[in-house]
Structure 1
């Protein structure tokens, strides 16, 4: 019998709003932001009179751009009817978001601030400070207006502090939303539920029962259209400083007293501050840098990073780290982080390996050896949770044990579409909920951990190791974990 699931209403109604997106003709807006908002319209979450106003500097804000958006919505999986339903909410204004004198038309279009108003800076980070000052100079940040900053927030601790200080001059922290879309993923949010709503896991969530943890964010794509940006950044800045460290924080936090935004973020900052520093020659033992060369991806030959870029480069496209948290709960539990481009499979997961049983009563030969229990929290694809257990092979003959998997998948456990991360995060901004957004001290503490690694690489590890596209990264990453008597978790990407 099919399970009939109740319809769960939105926890808090979304008020009528104006969302202004700077950089509205860019890839982020066309590929993520507009489709997320269109889905929210299709689900009846966005009020009828709400507006999405795109700011463009050089494009024609007329019908041509509107047709482009409507076509992109359908390319991203929305039906024609859903795309058409979104379009009345959308309009464009040509303006320079860094120049308050050019915002007259936007000011007139917005009118009096009688509704929630939010400004999304889908722009390069060097525009965050001048854009914030310009919006404030035009009077657009008055009242309860909110500002959304897209990652990356700077390229190091100094630049992140400069951006934060510039924004703080015109807007209080409670109205500043630093977005990391990984925090909007359903499985990431479910980390809190998994731990703090299930006694089974919370009691075993420590060095007493856990042997080690692996966090992997693997991509199959190469540079795509980001060559100029990516070569000045690399995998450590682009992925580890934000996405991967945020996953580590949510995995390792102590129980907050409440789900209040600052209570959760206080605990995340404590995790970041407990990270044992990696600096100087430590990078040679606790980190691995890699860069992909020519290989194959999805059965197709693909060029190497330098070939795509058009020149030689020392930028890493792969990074692996062994991290340690100097806390009572996590003392002695290594946490391995790994991320890279042009890897063999696209997946993001947290794999928790528990300690083996202290003594096996089932015999000691290799066939009867006991595999340790593992909990795999899959973020993408096939979002869900897997528990790897030892089971008996059916039959009345000789006792045989095999590892088997309990597999809870969102697409089969729940009879509803899993929303995209940006859908959740954009509506949280309008609701005024900052729980899934990074606070200033979070960002700066994360950079405080990453900056010494970058310095150590500069002094001791300037040349990344090579790995063929379509593989799991350089062989040195295998050595990083095997030195500790462990091995990387291989994904189970069942369709």
Structure 2
């Protein structure tokens, strides 16, 4: 059975017009800058192999590596092979690998080396004639943001950014998209000065996760939720991204960024937009983007940022059965660092649907468990015809969308406890992807890379979304800096600093325990 046959039966990335058919990219190549980095080795290269194994790449697909290494072509092939063997999600098949490896090329050079780009230009022209890539090339910048401008300028100067008639050229950039509003605007101006906006793909891998996309299916494919998805019934919304790990070896990057910029500005504000947006007229990229932009434009921070935000930094503590060191003891972190590893804030959305409903966002490292979820918490029933003792263990109804690690949806509601007494207690109804579907969910980068090659951009934020997100977060960062707000310590394995609990208690609420 061919890879295409396999994908047609098992691949969840279906053709939108005929679900029996996979979405297969047309003739093209991908030029990957930064092929020696962790992202390329652990995510991008394995995702490309998995797409090939599912039959979703064209026969002549080619992968060009560009890096500051004195490698031969076979050296690059070995790097890809080892990465695939270690991290691919589909079985290794020798015939698929041989076919894919025929399209490997490697160009050594520095990011500012004009001669190297001339070699790269010759290489992609050779691929057009030898591999039938048709002039269609995507440039994946898996590199530090400081080099985005340099690479884009070299792509422009060498003519690589200019498509031949009837073909396309696209650029893919990874977050962070700037470090504040001004830098984001500058970066957008540089990138879109080389590539047209529709050819710029900003990767937020969270938006490629199956459960994130299921937010839209849950809301707009089911009549039962729409009547209650508003301020008449919703008390508040909690969006959580908790990690149980520390910073690992990323001190050089993380200590200059922190939790708020690393996670809230992009991932969590995107989740807020998907949760709060109105129904689009269709699910094309422009229609979805319009509704997300409305939410981000209407988002407002409370006036008192001291009581509406929390900043924390993990200290030594027990993570399960392991005693872990604090952030200040991590290799590469300055002993007086004020970088936050935990951030929480309250956001209001000033629309008719959400007026008066607070959205609480939190993200942190070395927390109690690894989980990303959206919890829509409903108001209590206005009247309970039971005695207070019968309902003393009854909480608020909630719909919880679990994005990772156990993708699914949980509904919490009250039910009678079996017995002769009337006693009402919280119970849960659970839907899990793994238990409900025999098809495996594609890894986020599979979906996103395929969308790039297909030119299908609904999951990619445009520069307007990026800039609106910075407009929301910048005042928080400025407030912390102006007022010298030090991050409160919290022991590893707990759920954040005391200031986070205080943020909720002021509103008469408490954080969910996932």
Question: TM-score per shorter chain, which class?
Answer: over 0.9
Residue 53 of structure 1: which of 39, 55, 64 is its match?
64
Contact residue 32 and residue 65 of structure 2 kept, 8 A: yes
Kept after mapping to 1: 8 A contact 2:393/2:425: no
Partner of 1:457: 480
Match of 1:444 among 453, 463, 467: 467
Of 63, 72, 76, which aligns to 2:87? 76
**Pairwise mapping of residues 22-421 of structure 1 onto structure 2 (< 5 A)?**
22-78=33-89, 79-81=91-93, 84=97, 86-111=100-125, 112=128, 114-143=134-163, 144-277=168-301, 282-308=304-330, 309-365=333-389, 367=391, 370-395=394-419, 397-421=420-444
| 2:454 pairs with one of 418, 428, 431 | 431
Contact 2:316 2:324 in 1 (8 A): yes
Residue 283 of structure 1 contacts residue 461 of structure 1 at CA under 8 Å; is this kept in 2? no
Give the superposition deviation at 1:261.
0.6
Q: Which stretch shifts more, 188-197 or 308-317? A: 308-317
User: How many residues matched?
Assistant: 484
Measured after TM superposition, the shift of residue 399 of structure 1 is 2.7
Q: Which moved more, 1:84-93 or 1:221-230?
A: 84-93
Match in the other structure for 2:492: 469
Shift of 1:88: 4.0
The CA distance in 2 between the partners of 1:472 and 1:65, in whole Å, is: 43
Question: Residues 333, 461 of structure 1: CA spacing in aligned structure 2 closer, same or farther, 3 A cutoff?
Answer: farther
Question: Would the alpha carbon gap of residues 254 and 71 (structure 1) be closer, same or farther in structure 2, given more than 3 Å must change?
Answer: same
> What do the CA deviations read for 1:263-322 (whole angstroms, capped 9, x no partner)?
11111111111111357xx22111000011111224212111111125320111100101
Change (3 A) 1:77 1:140: closer
Instruction: Tell me, in whole angstroms, the C-alpha distance in 2 between the residues paired with 1:436 and 1:62.
Output: 34
RMSD, matched Cα? 1.9
SS across alignment from 1:361: coil
Contact 1:148/1:176 (<8 A) preserved:
yes
For residue 199 of structure 1, give the secondary structure of its aligned residue in structure 2.
Answer: coil
Matched, 1:480 2:480: no
- The worse-fitting range, judged by mean Cα deviation, of 81-90 and 261-270 is 81-90
SS of alignment partner, residue 162 of structure 2? coil
Tell me the SS of whatever aligns to 1:208: coil
Contact 2:301 2:346 in 1 (8 A): no
The secondary structure found in structure 2 opposite 1:417 is: coil
- The CA distance in 1 between the partners of 2:70 and 2:216, in whole Å, is 43
**Secondary structure of the residue that 1:324 maps to in structure 2?**
strand
TM-score w.r.t. length of structure 1: 0.93
Residue 21 of structure 1 corresponds to 32
Contact 1:253 1:267 in 2 (8 A): yes
The structural deviation recorded for 1:327 is 1.2
Q: Secondary structure at the match of 2:499?
A: helix
Question: Are the counterparts in 2 of residues 290 and 318 from structure 1 also a CA contact under 8 Å?
Answer: yes
Deviations 1:148-180 (A, max 9, x none): 111001111111111111112111111111111
**3-state SS of 1:266 partner:** helix
Cα distance 1:265–1:130, how it changes in 2: closer, same or farther (>3 A)?
A: same
Residue 482 (structure 1) shift? 1.6
The whole-number CA distance in structure 2 between the counterparts of 1:188 and 1:331 is 24
The 8 Å contact of residues 67 and 109 in structure 2, kept in 1 or not, is answered as yes
Please say which of residues 200-209 and 294-303 is displaced more in the overlay. 294-303
- Structure 1 gaps of 5+ residues are none
Q: Give the distance between the partners of 1:36 and 1:90, measured in 2 at CA.
A: 15
Give per-residue Cα distances to partners, 1:49-83, cap 9 Å, x unaligned.
10111111125244344323322323225444378
2:112 & 2:215 partners in 1: Cα distance? 39
Q: Which SS does the other structure have where 1:365 is aligned? A: helix
Q: How far apart are residue 368 of structure 1 and its match?
A: 5.2
Does 442-451 or 76-85 show the bigger shift?
Answer: 76-85
| Aligned-residue offset at 1:98 | 3.3
